[in-house]
Homo-oligomer: A and B are copies of this chain.
Amino acid sequence: MARNTRERILAAALELFNTFGEPNVTTNRIADELDISPGNLHYHFRTKADLIGTLFARYEQRMLELLATPSDGTPHIEDIWLFLHLVFETIGDYRFLYRDLTDLCARHRRLHQHFQGILKLSMQTARDLCDGLAEVGQLDASSRELEALVRNIVLVATFWIAFDQVLDRDSEPRPDRAVWQVLSLVSPFLVGTAREELGALSESYW
């Protein structure tokens, strides 16, 4: 039963943080939402930072599992497309982290360090996928172009949620559009069948 309350608190916190932004949600509001006393919430999570830390750990675990997968074998555009969908669904599920990323990182040192780790791993994964495509003759870019490309991929992947939110308030996250945004960065460097594959995938998207 205690376990169940803990899970309910986490689910309510995630939902409220995602909807209103973490800075605008107090632990009292989360307790209110669940119709439990602030003391009961406090028993499970001593501070709001504990709550954020636990949600972040779950997000991090999902991201690390995802980022560990795409390294085996020759990459195909269709696999990369699916991989990005899973990444952007995870980001959408924990979008409060991305909404106020700079401030969360400034306030929570441990979260910042771990997030930096995820960004660096994401850049490594993007680089590996590009290198893999280049090795089988499906991508053509100079090392300088590749460096800028990898940085832009991770920048766009990290901030598409914040961009959507500012440009078009109250919109739901659109992982499908984010996939397209990121693949459109890679698209001009694709050659051969990868280019055709992406063309076909983008047709089904539009």
Contacts and interface: CB of A to CB of B under 8 A. Distances in A.
Contacts of A102: 21, 99-100, 162, 165-166
Interface stretch (A10-18, A53-61, A146-154): A146-154
Contact of A112 (B115, B169, B185): B169
A154 B168 CA distance: 14
B181 A151 contact: yes
Contacts of A167: 116, 119
Contacts of A101: 162, 166
B119 A166 contact: yes
- By Cβ-Cβ distance, the 3 closest A-B pairs, closest first, are A148-B184, A188-B188, A159-B159
Given A144-B202, A144-B206, A155-B156, 16 more contacts: A23-B23, A100-B102, A100-B103, A101-B162, A102-B162, A102-B165, A112-B166, A115-B166, A145-B187, A145-B188, A152-B152, A152-B156, A155-B155, A155-B160, A155-B181, A159-B163
Interface of A: 21, 23-24, 99-103, 105-106, 112, 115-116, 119, 144-145, 148-149, 151-152, 154-156, 158-160, 162-163, 165-167, 169, 180-181, 184-185, 187-189, 202, 206
A155 to B, nearest CB: 5
Max chain B C-beta neighbours (<10 A), residue from A151, A160, A166, A185: A166
Given A148-B180, A188-B145, A155 B163 contact: yes
A119 B162 CA distance: 13
A120 B61 CA distance: 37
A154 B82 CA distance: 26
A188 to B, nearest CB: 4
A202 to B, nearest CB: 7
Contacts of A165: 102, 105
